Amino acid sequence: MKFQKAAVIGTGMMGPGIAVTFALGGLSARLISRTAEKADAGIESARGLIAYLEQHGLIDSSAAASAREKIAPTSDMSEAAAWADIVVESAPENMEFKQGLFAELDSAARPETVLASNTSGLSITAIGSRCRHPERVLTTHFWNPPHLMPLVEVVKSEKTRDDYAVGVRDLLARCGKLAVIVKKDTPGQLGNRMQVAMIREAINIVAEGIADPADVDLAAKAGFGLRLPVYGIFEHQDLIGLEMGHSIVDYVSKGLYNEPRAPQLMQELIDRGDLGVKTGRGFYDWSKRDPEAVKELRDRWLREFLKTPFAREQRAKG
């Protein structure tokens, strides 16, 4: 399966970073928006991301120059879909909209072209349900920010052919990403299932008065979160011994939040109008904190991690 041309729909938060990923992997990439003006703005965002990666030593000048040349804007989605070997949409998370979009792409694209969604939670089986060729439809969930985060989840629908999923995983490896194949189309895919379980219990800890949000965050950052980049969940269980791991999980599970819904504390904050940064208060009082500084610290950490021998080795392995 050869991929030489990629089309990316969406010029908001994710699209430019996804287009940059493909360009750095050697593909010609077209960034699609409804208007030429928005497509041009998306290209400017993509070029800014390329400059950012070069500035921080994550790509060299020749890779940056090549990537800039490989990205072009367009407002003609049908023409771009017919041209591309893979189309990735990064549109709003609306099922009806995505179903209509994929039906349109299915008609415009060549039968062998992969049609992928960047959805972080919607069913890819449902998204591709109106397609005549659902076997080539799958999810490529790039984690945010896509120009820095290595992980991409390749999620199979109930009808996705195995060779398409494997081919896309190999393509993403060529583009410097670490891709995993999610074999079942399930809510939360893979990473978000684990993340949501952690979020629910973290909120429950605060609700039960066990610790404050800042201390919960610090425990995650300075404890298990610090070793997770190089020391996985199952590696830890095997290294401590499954009999000990079983005993700990069995004991602790009795006190965990196990309701099939978000914790009540979260709803109470929403009902009060405390929605987080957008309203100035959520779990934290954001009038006393700078959200941009928090994101910059996140991105600085990601930049430094990507420069480590471990990260470079993993990307080289694909």
- Tens digits of per-residue pLDDT, 55-114? 999 999 999 999 999 999 999 999 999 999 999 999 999 999 999 999 999 999 999 999
Residues 139 and 52 in one domain: yes
pLDDT at 317: 74
Residue 194 is predicted with a pLDDT of 96
State whether 30 and 144 are in the same domain.
Answer: yes
Look at residues 128, 188, 193 and name the one whose alpha carbon lies nearest to residue 164.
128
Asked if 36 and 16 touch (Cβ cutoff 8 Å), the reply is no
The verdict on residue 45 lying in a domain is yes
Q: Is 153 a catalytic residue?
A: yes
Spans of the chain below 50 pLDDT: none
- Residues 171 and 197 grouped into a single domain: no
pLDDT for the residue numbered 318: 63
Residue pLDDT, tens place only, 194-213: 999 999 999 999 999 999 99
The confidence score (pLDDT) of residue 316 equals 78
Q: Of the residues 182, 215, 234, which one is the last residue of a structural domain?
A: 182
Domain that holds residue 45: 5-182
Number of domains in the chain: 2
DSSP string of 261-317, one letter each residue: S--HHHHHHHHTT--BGGGTBSSSBGGGS-HHHHHHHHHHHHHHHHTSHHHHHHHHH
pLDDT at res. 1: 76
pTM to 2 decimals? Answer: 0.93
Q: H/E/C letters for each residue in 119-180?
A: CCCCCHHHHCCCCCCHHHEEEEEECCCCCCCCEEEEEECCCCCHHHHHHHHHHHHHCCCEEE
Strand, helix or coil at 44? Answer: helix
pLDDT, residue 233, reads: 96
* Peptide bond just before 263 cis, omega within 30 deg: no
For the chain, the C-alpha Rg in angstroms (whole number) is: 21
Which residue out of 54, 69, 153, 158 is catalytically annotated? 153
Hey, what are 39's tokens? 């497509």
pLDDT of residue 178: 95
Angle between helices 36-55 and 61-70 (to 10 degrees): 170
Residue 228 has what DSSP assignment? T
- Domain harbouring 247, CATH code: 1.10.1040.10
Which tokens go with 157?
Answer: 């629908």
Which domain-ending residue is among 124, 149, 182?
A: 182
Position 280 in a domain = no
